[in-house]
Amino acid sequence: MEPGKVEQRFGNLEATEGGFAFQGHIQGDVHVHRSHNVRAELDSLPEAAFNAASRQYSYSCLENTRRKILQNIEEWADSNGKKRMDWLKGMAGTGKSTIALTVARKYAKLRRLGASFFFFSRGGGDHASAAKFASTVAAQLADTWPELKKYIDNAIASSPRIRDLGLFDQWEKLVLGPLAQLDKNVFPLPIAIVVDAPDECDSEDDVSLLIQCLAAATAVESTRLRVFVTSRPDQPVNLGFGGISQDTHRDFILHDIEQSSVDQDLFNFYKYRLAYTAKRFGLDDRIHSDEAIRFLVEKSSVLFIHAATVCRFMQEGGQLANERLSLLIAVESALTKPEKELDTMYTTVLTHSLAVGLEPAEAARVQALFRRVVGSIVVLSDAMTCADLSTMLEEPRDVITKTLHCLHSVLDVPEEETRPIRLLHPSFRDFLLDPQRCQNKTFSVNATAAHSHLFNCCLRLMKNHLRRNMCNLERPGTRTRDIPSTVVDEFIPLSVQYACRYWIHHLQQSEVDPNDRPDIMDFFHTQFLAWLETLALIGRLSDGITMMKLVEARLSASSTATDLKGATTTKARFRSGYYADQ
């Protein structure tokens, strides 16, 4: 099929004045209209806030720990200095997020927290993207400070397509503009914005731009903003801070604090957590003796994630916590790097959780499930509930539950059915995906193979579920703003929504060659419009345009894929500002 003839098969993609309309020549007309509701345009992420439900059980810094660091941050935040940004940087697992959460909770109690944004680790969907950063910060500012709300509402009303703008343009309209209109007396004391883990953002380019956005906010004189950022010292963040004046920010390297201070904090942390475990399960004091804790502190080095994982592992053992302590003590390690100690601890936890007490055949079955289930979890582009993961992988739900049951030390497996499964720390993903770190092939995850498996799962789901008019709308041309999200979720399962959004991402990262897959061609011929309509219904049509271009780029050198390439270069006219092919 020639690219120019694709309209004969798929028709024109055209945006009408009121929204998107797909004129399909195969099965009639499809009309999916885009929302222009003013409040709906402020598309924020409630789960990014410090006090989101997913973070309600997360620990703040314990009393008598991190005192010097927290005091230093407090003195900076309350000062009149020119350095209005504070970058706390440290290697993975040094406790940055806990410090960020402590700072956010403190300033929220003082009614001096303007906003907070806690990025989820890679694979966190929208929460690992900067796409909704500006709208999320603006929504929190509007909720917290009524004085700002009217200015933000005015900005939304004057820019009805604001969600389609780039990050900095959104930031200018939703945050900088409203802040500049405030009277200086509204905020007599400095107001804090806390941003945790921007280094987990999927787009490296967005990281630098995000830092520039925050720097611009601190320059607004009507508000004495203080921006507190925590991250690893990765190159994108370095470039972001390198692009702003040194006079506007200060750096603090968390893992360079004197070891004696870190050791004391770790000692206090272990003492508190293990004493709680002993009391809860009626254990003797051996589990939290000074001798045992000093040994564990030495193993943890500067890594609080090591200490936290050890404490969860021992608590998960219940009455056998002392035996688990003995297991950890018995692990010989001549390694000196903190990362190596972390790897040894992860290997010990996995080996004990997935093999102890099982017959060889049973252990092999459990470990195979681990690679399939946990291997999928660590490369997912967005977190899933147990039910959705079961649908995606075609594994019985009880099998997935049993596979994850012994992994609470490293995974957040919530009892609530509506909450997704998440990694407790991104270092666990890094460990599993790096064969140099995870040298036990039983647990090592081949990322390419995992992406291939998820791509096939996504394609299967879409082929089995996608059809025209997914929500059974009685009137053609119904606007998406008139369709409640509960209706969309009822007719389009979240697993299918995931497949529609991310199948091409998994294809890109996989070992699959599209030229050898006639089922991909078949999908574009038979369900192309249904896929686009579904993306529009879930508010992701623009993602579809981008994905089509990615497929085209992957096939650009192929002489055998002209037909598929033609399908993905569909000519589109978007009068409202979208263009599929220019």
Per the DSSP assignment, residues forming a β-bridge with 231 are 89
Residue 366 pLDDT: 82
In the predicted structure, residue 185 carries a pLDDT above the cut 60: yes
What DSSP string describes 449-502? HHHHHHHHHHHHHHHHH--SSTT--SSTT-BGGGS-HHHHHHHS-HHHHHHHHH
> How far apart, in whole angstroms, are the C-alpha atoms of residue 34 and residue 125?
22
Q: Residue 128: which pLDDT band, with cuts at 50, 70 and 90? A: confident
In the predicted structure, residue 11 carries a pLDDT above the cut 80: no
Residue 37 pLDDT: 37
Residue 561 pLDDT: 52
In the predicted structure, residue 39 carries a pLDDT above the cut 60: no
Strand order in the sheet with 29-32: 29-32, 19-23, 13-16, 572-574
HEC per residue, 106-154: HHHHCCCEEEEEECCCCCCHHHHCCCCHHHHHHHHHHHHCHHHHHHHHH
The winner for highest mean pLDDT among 28-37, 154-163, 348-357, 496-505 is: 496-505
Q: Residue 429: which pLDDT band, with cuts at 50, 70 and 90? A: very high
> How far apart, in whole angstroms, are the C-alpha atoms of residue 349 and residue 501?
34
What DSSP string describes 315-363? HHTGGGHHHHHHHHHH------SHHHHHHHHHHHHHHHHHHTT--HHHH
Among the residue ranges 111-120, 153-162, 377-386, 555-564, the one predicted with the least confidence is 555-564
The winner for highest mean pLDDT among 11-15, 175-179, 467-471, 578-582 is: 175-179
In the predicted structure, residue 402 carries a pLDDT above the cut 90: no
In the predicted structure, residue 292 carries a pLDDT above the cut 50: yes
Name which residue leads in pLDDT, 210 or 162: 210
pLDDT mean over 359-383: 89
Q: Residue 203: which pLDDT band, with cuts at 50, 70 and 90? A: confident
Q: Which residues, other chains included, contact 101 with Cβ-Cβ below 8 Å and sequence gap of 6+?
A: 50, 55, 58, 59, 60, 118, 196
Residue 134 pLDDT: 96
Question: In the structure encoding, which two tokens stand for residue 468, read together?
Answer: 């025209």
Residue 22 pLDDT: 43
Residue 510 pLDDT: 95
> How far apart, in whole angstroms, are the C-alpha atoms of residue 79 and residue 190?
8
The pTM (predicted TM-score) of the whole model is 0.79
In the predicted structure, residue 260 carries a pLDDT above the cut 70: yes
> How far apart, in whole angstroms, are the C-alpha atoms of residue 34 and residue 10?
20
The winner for highest mean pLDDT among 21-30, 385-394, 435-444, 482-491 is: 385-394
In the predicted structure, residue 329 carries a pLDDT above the cut 90: no
Residue 113 sits at φ, ψ, to 5 deg, of -100, 115
Average pLDDT, the chain: 85
Residue 558 pLDDT: 56
Residue of 107, 122, 123 whose CA lies nearest to 49: 107
Q: Which residues, other chains included, contact 484 with Cβ-Cβ below 8 Å and sequence gap of 6+?
A: none
Q: Residues 462, 529: contact at Cβ < 8 Å?
A: no
Q: Residue 147: which pLDDT band, with cuts at 50, 70 and 90? A: confident
Of 1.10.620.20, 3.40.50.410, 2.60.40.10, 3.40.50.300, which CATH number belongs to 46-256?
A: 3.40.50.300
Domain residue limits, the chain: 3-34+448-574, 46-256, 258-330, 359-445
Residue 368 pLDDT: 87
Of 1.10.10, 1.10.150, 1.10.1200, 2.30.170, which CATH number belongs to 359-445?
A: 1.10.10
Q: Residue 480: which pLDDT band, with cuts at 50, 70 and 90? A: confident
Q: Residues 13, 461: contact at Cβ < 8 Å?
A: no
